[in-house]
Chains A and B, each alone.
Chain A
Amino acid sequence: MSLPRHRLTLRVNGEEQELLVESRRLLLDALRDDLGLTGTKRGCEEGVCGACTVLVDGRHVRSCLLLALQVRDRAVTTIEGLAGDGALHPIQAAFIRAGALQCGYCTPGFIMTTKALLDARAALTEAEVREALSGNICRCTGYAHIVEAILALTEDTKR
């Protein structure tokens, strides 16, 4: 049975987008397959790993558990929206400096979580950073350098 599609407008990385989507379209698939923004990763597909983390109206969410229609007229930010013209975002630069990635598959999700975290709070303890990362899994287990990268950023902010 073929059901009607829905016209969906949303703002992705500052640009208005208009899509025609099935009801069941996930935000993750709309971003990757309809808009070609493959920086957002498909990991566990059941809300556990955090690889698909994006921001909706500035809050970090799992795009594999949201229907695209739930973000109608809202602002979505993906990893592609962070870097400016040819310049890495400070969080990306900090991850590279600290060697906070191994295979790199979880990295976009960690960086989006970090973005939401640092937008909300400038100063954080290591325990707070680790708690904030509890929804993201790095299967290379490279957590130490990820935490280090984020703590370096919070110290930068404090200066």
Chain B
Amino acid sequence: MRDFVFLEPRTMAEASGMLADHGDAARLLAGGTALVLLMRNRLASPSHVVYLGGVPDLDRIVIDDDGLRMGALATHAAIAAHPGIRARYPVIADTAGVVANPQIRNVATIGGNLCHGDPASDPPACLLALGARVRAVRGAAARDIALDDFFTDYYENALAPGEIVAEVFVPAPPPGARAAYTRFVTSAAESRPLVAVGVRLTLAGAACTEARIALGAVAPVPRRATRAETFLRGRTLTPDVVAEAASLAVADLDLVSDFRGSADYRRDVARVTVRRTLGRALGGAA
């Protein structure tokens, strides 16, 4: 690993300033499980590393009537174990609890996970289905970016130079909403998903009033299955309707092909995983 200047800001404004000063030569360090590995493999060789660990309260988790706010430095382990998240957003706790492995979950952060933008990961699809957004700050300025718009390509995001994700916000689910997340891994030894599916269904009686379906790990960025979502709206979710939605969800995907699986295999697995995840959200058997 090439050596670098290690910067330890005490405030977000100071951190933004440091990033802005050094431009592309600077990288932000949160838990480090992704960045340190990139640097060791010389896939990243920043001249300056800005470490956020000294900024107070950046790992805070707050739940109120509006929704859930997870500080960017909240670790996956902290999210998985948080009593309020387990009670009110169990799908988020469950998803955080399967990321990578226990040692990584103790260090890796939700902000780092989203900003790193590795497609083969669990939280992005789950949070996208739940309508999450990130709060990006730069100095005194702040803006919210919906996850729909946040991921732009492999390992790329919509942050402007000097912007830092301070918090991930998940809006409180509407009445009648139910959510599920499913990862498909190719073997018990594999820690990254071949396919990741998050769904949130809102029901009024037997009818579906809103469906959000997000697919991760199948394309360079996590995507909503908008055709399937539109198809489900207003319908009663019978097994046939759910199966049709699953087919629509994978119909126009531009799938990646890699060592975990070919594009054709991914399409089949994604279709089945969407069907099962909708079933799980409805409370049926997986």
Interface positions of A from 1 to 47, Cβ below 8 Å from B: 1-3, 6, 22-24, 26, 45-47
In the assembled complex, the CB of B274 is this many whole angstroms from the nearest CB of chain A, namely: 26
Contact check, A134 vs B32: say whether CB atoms are below 8 A apart.
no
Decide if A134 touches B191 in the complex (CB within 8 Å). Answer: yes
Tell whether A145 is near chain B: CB-to-CB under 8 Å. Answer: no
A147 at the A/B interface (Cβ < 8 Å)? no
Asked if residues B33 and A6 are in contact (CB atoms below 8 Å), the reply is no
B53 to chain A, nearest CB (A): 6
| A24 CA to B49 CA, complexed, in Å | 10
> Judging by beta carbons under 8 Å apart, are A46 and B5 in contact?
no
- Bound Cα distance A59, B33 (Å): 15
Q: Which residues of B contact A45 (CB under 8 A)?
A: 40
Q: Which residues of A contact B102 (CB under 8 A)?
A: 60, 113, 116, 132, 134-135
Q: Within 8 Å of chain B (Cβ to Cβ): is A77?
A: no
Min CB–CB distance B189 → chain A (angstroms): 9
Chain B 23-66 interface 0/1 with A at a Cβ cutoff of 8 Å (1 = within): 00000010011001101110000000101010000000000000
Q: Measuring CB to CB, which residues of chain B are less than 8 angstroms from any residue of chain A?
A: 1-6, 8, 29, 32-33, 36-37, 39-41, 49, 51, 53, 77, 100-104, 106-107, 191
Q: What are 15 A-B pairs at a CB distance below 8 A?
A: A3-B4, A6-B6, A23-B5, A24-B2, A46-B40, A47-B33, A47-B37, A61-B103, A62-B107, A65-B32, A66-B36, A67-B51, A113-B103, A134-B102, A135-B101
